[in-house]
Amino acid sequence: MDIFSALLLTAFVVGYLVLAGADVGLGLLMPRVARSTGQRRSALAAIAPYFLASEVWLVAALGVLAGLFPSVEHHVVGRLWPALAALALAWLIRDAGLWLWRRVPSARWRAVWEGAVIAGSWGLALSWGLILAGLLTGVLWSGLFTPLCTAAVVALFALRGASFGADRLAADDGGQAADACGELTRILSRWAMAAVVLAAAAAVLPGGPRPEDPLVAGAVMLLLLGSLMVTTGVYGPMISRVTSAMAIAAPGILVALVADLPSAAIPGVTGTFVWATLVPTVPVMLLGQVWLHRMTRRSAGAVTFFA
């Protein structure tokens, strides 16, 4: 049961990064790709159905972590609590912006909450970068590796958001915003590749992570760099929805495989209770994601509850 529980937790975390990477990434790119009121409305309409669905995976991951891996939870909270607090604050700010943007027909009101969506998206990406770097090193700040790893994670979020925007932004403005996102995928994949290489180089410096199995870590890094390299090619923008998902999944997989986290046997009663809850819940989550994927294959409409 311990192995299956670890696989489930990894799947929830990686699933969240892939799904939330789309809406968080598009949110932090809004100043670049959504400059007019119509373009911002289209971007928010694209984000709207995604952010609630992705948060379900994060809540599920937190439930599994607290229920089945309390020792890991204590380790993470004890050492990374500032980054976790920043993550929660950014989460609240970004979601408040999405919920409140359309509530008052005032340009000043909307400008405030547009800023909240952008700032919250940046806060989420930066916080996740710090958390993933902290999980790999065991401390919140570990020399040059921490900022470089954080920059790489932010670049991966931005790449995921650009590929999502290229598919989802409405063509009401002649497709300018979607085209801008498509053009950004090549640029962002190059920036992400540079950040990943620098972070990997910093990993060998004092304070960097020391994986017990360097071959596994190297294999994951090759997967990450390969997906980014493919995205820089001629057909990169057309396949970036897949390659960007592979790229942003790689940090979560790397943490699951090589991070030095405490382990303890799962109590039988606790494991049975948690799994009895998960067995009927996980299929519903998967079916919901299939439905969401089919729905978001089309461009977002201009008018929704959120935008």
- With a cut of 60, say whether residue 303 has pLDDT above it: no
Q: Rounded distance, CA 231 to CA 185, Å?
A: 7
- Closest C-alpha among 106, 120, 95, 123 to residue 37: 106
Q: Any residues with CB less than 8 A from the CB of 180 and at least 6 apart, and which?
A: 32, 33, 165
Give the count of beta carbons closer than 10 Å to the beta carbon of residue 106: 9
Please give the structure tokens belonging to residue 283. 């299929």
Q: Rounded distance, CA 90 to CA 125, Å?
A: 9
pLDDT band at 190 (very low <50, low <70, confident <90, very high): very high
What is the tens place of the pLDDT at every residue in 24-72?
A: 999 999 999 988 888 888 888 888 778 888 888 998 899 888 888 888 8
pLDDT at 51: 83
Q: Rounded distance, CA 249 to CA 227, Å?
A: 11
Q: Rounded distance, CA 302 to CA 12, Å?
A: 31
Contact 189, 232 (CB under 8 A): yes
Give the count of beta carbons closer than 10 Å to the beta carbon of residue 35: 14
Supply the pTM of this predicted model. 0.92
What value does the mean pLDDT take over residues 72-94?
94
Domains of the chain: 2-295 (1.20.1630)
What is the tens place of the pLDDT at every residue in 128-183?
A: 999 999 999 999 998 899 999 999 999 999 999 999 998 888 665 567 888 889 89
Q: Rounded distance, CA 64 to CA 282, Å?
A: 12
